[in-house]
Chains A and B, each alone.
Chain A
Amino acid sequence: MNFPRATGSLALFACLNLAAPPGAHAIVTLGDNVELEGFVNVQNGVRQPNFESADLIMQRNTAQVEGKYYFLKDSTAFGRFDTGRLEEATFTFVGRGVYDSAYDIRESWQDAYSRDGHHPGEIDFKLREAFVDLLLPPLSLRLGRQQVVWGETDNFRALDAINPLDLSWHWTWESWEDIRIPLWMARAVYDVGKLGPFDESFVEAVYIPWDVQHNKIATDPRRPWALHGAGLTENANTVIANGRVLDLDMRVRDGAPSRSFENGQAGARFKAIWGGVEFSLNYFYGYSADTGYRLMPNTSGIFGNTYRADFVTKNPRTQLFGLTANYSDETYTQAVFRMESVYTTGTPVSIAPGAPRSADPDGDQYDEARRMVVMIAADRPTWIHWLNDQRTFFLSSQFFWRHYLDWNPFMRGIPAVSEAELNGTVLPGRFISTNTDRIDENEFVMTFAATTSYGAAGLMQPKFVFAFDPRSTGAYNQIGFDYLVSKHFTVRAQQNFFWRMEGRSIGPWELGDLWGQSNGNSRNETIVSLIYQF
């Protein structure tokens, strides 16, 4: 039941299309001060478990409208009011409506979800972002619901941890801009400029007064991108204790911090260039976006033929201390090097049932760990003339090392559901949950991405993504292709492969070791999107 590492996971590149051209039409303008733009995306996904069958998992229709209202220009608001030092102000909003018709198209899902009244495919509309930008040099403010991204990593939760993620519908395989959960916050940036040996320096502060949220994960195994471990796509309903078969009555109480002013979050960073090296020092005091599950030993136990397991969710207070740097080496390697290192406290971790007191003093199968992440990366525009003699390939590679500072061998990762057995006999309809996924003290993953464009106007844009966990040998490949058909239409095709080289252990990154299983649950998939943008 414990999924503490899930969103500390790597997610792989929605690749930077730095070499790629745009392909749509102009913004809609209303008068002189209002601009509207947006898109409609019809996204169809088919899963091919072990490439033996095809299964519709997504028919997601998204309409997004983005607007900007320039209500204060040149220290004049609404064309008439002098605002003194307040030079510019704008209001921005991003609204999104979503309807996934797969839940209505698939009869089995219709039946399943109509029974419990929860229908993931319902039309959902959200005002995702709404903020005001104010410019009072040297201070700039952004107030409202927004996303704030720190750090040098691409799609990795190290310093980029201010906004939680919605992983419920397609895990991390979407652009993170679209799956970050925007929060109500104030962001202030004070430009310092030259400061002693530092150039381009500034101080940034972020304050989230009450809006505490955490990562959204689907755990219902019927959901196509639910996180339900490496086992069967079933819910555990049984516990076998001392040779007895017990019904499992698992209750989870929401213990997440409430959205109130007493649960405010805040952070600050200083960023500057020193001798050609751009660096930042970061600090954030918030809540873990990862949810842990703490067993309540006093109310859990055997009651008749039932094992009652009371859990309370935990999103502990967390502190992040980060250092980032980048350097553009123009002379020797013609590459941009990136580095990020983050020390994090308050990471929720599961502890194995029955762990000794030294590892689990409270007997609650829960602990909070300190972690350190180090990332080094290189980006390079590279000529591969035999593949493309017009444009370079943008190559980007990253290497991550994550280390548990207070690791113990009883820390556990993702549980798995299996058939219940008693004395070697399978008990029909009964499933148990076990967790043998031992967390490694040191975890590693590496990524590589390549993009370029073809055609006279660069309208064909392939991309290739690869990620590999050397310990579990789990891997992920994405082969994607965007074709900008016209000024308005883009066709996007993407094939995701999950595979592993060998072994059975599960790593922490949700790659082919978890989702490339050969038991019929592999999540290889084809996604085809038709996008209209304006």
Chain B
Amino acid sequence: MTVSMTAARAGVLAALLATAGLAAAENSAPDGSYQALRDWIAQAPEALQPGRTYTAADRAALEAYLPRTVWQYYFFDGMEMEVAPTAHYPTPDNWKMDGSGDYRLDEHGILRGFKGGGTPFPQLEESDPQAAVKLIWNLMWRPGEHDYDMPMMTWLRSENGKLDREMEYMSTNATYAIGDRCLVPGYEEVKSKRIMEFRSPRDMAGAKDMQVVYVDHDREDSGWLYMPAQRKPRRTLASERTSELMGMDMIREDLNGFNGKIHENNWTYLGRRKILATVNVKDNPEMGGPHLWVPNKARWEVRDAYVVMIDPKATDHPYSHRILFIDPDSYWTLWMISFDRKDDQLLRFAQHFTKYSESYREETPQQAPYLNQDFTKNLGHHVFLHLGENDINAKKPHATITHCFVKKRVFSEARAQQFYSLRNMISGRR
């Protein structure tokens, strides 16, 4: 009896020691580790005073609201963060938010029968075992995801701000699945179509790609690439999503936070976390920091984000974990942070800059350097518009900064049919 009592105590002691050891390991985890971010997420921050500008002197207060993983990039001498009061941003009047409709999630987490025009899962139960995938479906069918002309500028920068490349291009896209009807009748299988065309540099000028995304999530996108040097379109493969895009510090799966397939990942809902994010910015943010990689003097807001963890099933996927912070009003990705499968250290992260369409009434952001657009067309849509993002590869290290200059566009049925067509891909700028 004594022996067994001693053994039991020893077991408990060993368990306690092991727990203590684990805790010690967590506390000493480097900033860029997966575990450090999980620890940070688990913290409940004290309130941050809105309506004032924070500087490097306020780091202690800001640390609670900026993911621990990115501190090394966002805290620097001269930093300024204007923190605006948290606001609520209503969706369009005709946007369905009642969750009604003849659609469902199947056993693999795939959304079946949804036709757009609303948020598929507006009411989320945090205890729902499918909460994570439901959030991703809300992200993938978020209001204002498409239907715009979007000139873009992208800068690829090494450390110390060295500019490696600069690109100009234009994305135009339209939602086909808009609820009870399709934008172009007869194309009910299509979720959206997009054409993106490069304007510069010259060796890419006129290169354009068309992507067709389907309502059926099991169906891979269709894509074509027109290269001026070839003078004809070329069919492209959609299912390779893990290679860096054109030297940029992102992979195709990173687009908008997550641009992959549900069934290729395991999903975990990590709860809500208040976080600073660049939502409803005044303008395309100026970039600062020692490398010009992060927004400076921008307007931030504290958002009570949904946190979703995505673990790729494929053992050769570069990520062990990808963590998304998703805006509760718009379902836009605020932050995407991914970790290297080799060591669970930070590999890439992205922060998105968005602006609410109705704020264009009071403050108009800058125009694209090469195109003037009528931004008043953005009013009345009640959606967030993408003003850009930074994508940082911590291991290179290197960054891609993109500014978007969005103008909402309503496509007619006839125009969409003509524009988003293979016919339009057989010739180009030259």
> Residues of A with Cβ closer than 8 Å to B?
14, 16, 18-27, 29, 32, 37-39, 66, 68, 92, 94, 129, 133, 135, 137-138, 140, 142, 147-151, 154, 175, 177, 187, 189, 191, 193-194, 200, 202, 204, 271, 273, 278, 326-328, 330-331, 334-336, 338, 379-381, 383, 390-392, 453, 455-459, 484, 487, 490, 533-534
CB-based nearest A residue for B201:
A24
Q: Are A142 and B396 in contact (CB under 8 A)?
A: no
Q: Of B203, B398, B423, which one neighbours A191 at CB under 8 angstroms?
A: B423
**Told that A23-B201, A135-B418, A177-B230 touch, could you supply 5 new A-B pairs with CB distance under 8 A?**
A24-B201, A189-B426, A200-B421, A202-B426, A383-B242
Q: Confirm or deny: B71 has a beta carbon within 8 angstroms of a beta carbon on chain A.
A: no
**In the assembled complex, how far is the CB of residue B60 from the closest CB belonging to chain A, in whole angstroms?**
33
Q: Chain A residues with Cβ under 8 A from B225's Cβ?
A: 18
Interface contact B246-A27, CB-CB below 8 Å: no
By the criterion CB–CB under 8 Å, are A458 and B237 in contact?
no
B247 touches A453 (CB 8 A): yes
CA distance A459 to B158 in the complex (A): 12
Look across to chain B and name the residue whose beta carbon is closest to the beta carbon of A147. B231
Known contacts A26-B199, A177-B229, A330-B238; A457/B398 CB under 8 A: yes
Instruction: Show the binding face of B for A, using Cβ within 8 Å.
Output: 156, 158, 163-168, 186-187, 198-205, 220, 222-223, 225, 227-232, 234-240, 242-244, 246-248, 316, 369-370, 372, 393, 396-398, 414-415, 417-418, 421-424, 426-427, 429-430
Give the distance in Å from the alpha carbon of A460 to the alpha carbon of B413 in the complex: 43
Q: B232 contacts which chain A residues (CB < 8 A)?
A: 149-151
Residues in B whose Cβ lies below 8 Å from that of A484: 165
Interchain CB contact under 8 A, B198 and A140: no
Find out whether the CB atom of B423 lies under 8 angstroms from the CB atom of A140: yes
**A334 vs B203: C-alpha distance when bound (angstroms):** 28
From known contacts A38-B202, A335-B237, infer whether A191 and B421 are also in contact, taking CB-CB under 8 Å.
Answer: yes
The answer to whether B422 and A177 touch across the interface, beta carbons within 8 angstroms, is no
Nearest-neighbour CB distance to chain B for A491, whole angstroms, equals 13
Nearest chain B CB to A276 CB, angstrom units: 8
Closest to B224 in A: A278
Q: Could you tell me if B158 and A273 are in contact, using CB atoms closer than 8 angstroms? A: no
Residues of B within 8 A of A336 (CB): 234-237
A380→B163 CA distance, assembly (Å): 31
Distance (Å) between the CB of B381 and the closest chain A CB? 21
Chain B residues near A194 (CB, 8 Å)? Answer: 186-187
The distance in angstroms between the C-alpha atoms of A66 and B201, with both chains bound, is 13
Complex Cα distance A129/B428, Å?
13
> Within 8 Å CB of B240, what residues of A?
334, 381, 392
A149 CA to B205 CA, complexed, in Å? 18
Give CA–CA (A68, B203) in the complex, Å: 16
Find the A residue at minimum CB distance from B190: A199
Complex Cα distance, B235 from A484, in Å, reads 27
B203 — which chain A residues lie within 8 A by C-beta? 22-24, 39, 490, 533
* Least distance between B374 CB and chain A CB atoms (Å): 12
Inter-subunit contact B236/A328 (CB<8 Å): yes
Q: Are B235 and A177 in contact (CB under 8 A)?
A: no
Report the tally of A-B residue pairs with Cβ distances under 8 A: 182
| Residues in A neighbouring B243, C-beta threshold 8 A | 19, 381, 383, 390-392
B220 touches A330 (CB 8 A): yes
Ordered nearest first, which 9 A-B pairs have the shortest CB separation?
A: A458-B247, A24-B201, A21-B247, A22-B204, A457-B164, A200-B422, A456-B398, A330-B239, A392-B243
Asked if A16 meets B166 with Cβ closer than 8 Å, knowing A142-B427, A202-B422, the reply is no
Docked pose: A21 CA to B122 CA in angstroms: 40
Q: What distance in Å separates the Cβ of A404 from its nearest Cβ neighbour in chain B?
A: 27
Are the CB atoms of B227 and A21 closer together than 8 Å?
Answer: no
Pairwise interchain contact B165-A23, C-beta atoms closer than 8 A: yes
Whether A25 touches B200, Cβ cut-off 8 Å, given contacts A150-B232, A177-B228, is yes
Pair A334/B237 contact, Cβ less than 8 Å = yes
Q: Is the CB of B165 within 8 A of A459?
A: yes
Decide: A27 and B316 in contact? CB cutoff 8 A: no
Q: Is the CB of A22 within 8 A of B198?
A: yes
CA distance A147 to B430 in the complex (A): 9
CA–CA, A109 and B246, complex, Å: 44
Asked whether, in the complex, the Cβ of A92 is within 8 Å of the Cβ of B429, the reply is yes
Q: List 30 A-B contacts (CB under 8 A).
A: A14-B229, A23-B165, A25-B201, A26-B201, A26-B370, A27-B202, A37-B200, A92-B429, A137-B418, A140-B423, A140-B424, A149-B230, A149-B231, A149-B232, A177-B230, A193-B186, A194-B187, A200-B421, A202-B421, A278-B422, A328-B220, A328-B223, A334-B239, A381-B240, A391-B244, A456-B158, A457-B398, A484-B165, A487-B163, A533-B201
Known A23-B203, A25-B166, A328-B238; contact A457-B156, beta-carbon cutoff 8 A: yes
A191 to B417, CA, bound (A): 9
Query: Which single member of A39, A137, A140, A379 contacts B237 (CB below 8 Å)?
Result: A379
Q: How far is the CB of A50 from chain B (nearest CB, A)?
A: 33
Closest chain-A Cβ to B285's Cβ sits at a distance in Å of: 21
Q: How far is the CA of A133 from the CA of B427 in the complex (A)?
A: 10
Task: Give A193 to B236 CA distance when docked, in angstroms.
Answer: 20
Q: How far is the CB of B71 from chain A (nearest CB, A)?
A: 22
With A22-B201, A381-B243 in contact, is A487–B156 under 8 Å at CB?
A: no
Residue of B nearest to A276 (CB): B222
- Cα A129 to Cα B421 with chains together (Å): 25
Would A191 and B418 count as touching, CB distance under 8 A? yes
From B370, B396, B429, contact of A29 by CB (8 A): B370
Name which residue of chain B comes closest to A454, CB basis: B247
- Interchain CB contact under 8 A, B165 and A457: yes
Given A16-B230, A21-B165, does the pair A533, B244 have CB atoms closer than 8 Å?
no
Using CB atoms, name the residue of chain B closest to A278. Answer: B235
B2 CB to nearest chain A CB (Å): 58
Q: Does the CB pair A202–B200 fall under 8 Å?
A: no
Closest to B372 in A: A32
Q: Give the chain B neighbours of A271 by CB distance below 8 A.
A: 422, 426
CA distance A5 to B366 in the complex (A): 58
The distance from the CB of B209 to the nearest CB of chain A, in whole angstroms, is 10
CA distance A24 to B230 in the complex (A): 19
Task: Note all chain B residues with C-beta closer than 8 A to A133.
Answer: 427
A453 to B372 Cα, complex, angstroms: 34
Closest partner residue, chain A, to B203 (CB atom) = A22
Contacts of A29 in B (CB 8 A): 370
Q: Across the interface, which residues of A come within 8 angstroms of B246, CB to CB?
A: 19-22, 458
* Chain B residues positioned under 8 Å from A24 (CB to CB): 200-203
Q: Which residues of A contact B166 (CB under 8 A)?
A: 25-26, 487
Taking the closest CB of chain B, its distance from the CB of A378, in whole angstroms, is: 11
**Chain A residues within 8 Å of B415, by CB:** 137
Minimum CB–CB distance from A262 to chain B (whole Å) comes to: 28
**B156: chain A residues within 8 A (beta carbon):** 21, 456-457
A490 proximity list for chain B (CB < 8 A) = 203
- Shortest distance from the beta carbon of A197 to any chain B beta carbon, whole Å: 12
CB distance from B63 to the nearest CB of A (A): 29
Chain B residues with Cβ below 8 Å from A27 are 168, 199-200, 202, 205, 370
Q: How far is the CB of A232 from chain B (nearest CB, A)?
A: 37
Q: Which residues of B contact A200 (CB under 8 A)?
A: 421-423
Q: Which residue of A lies closest to B166 (CB)?
A: A487
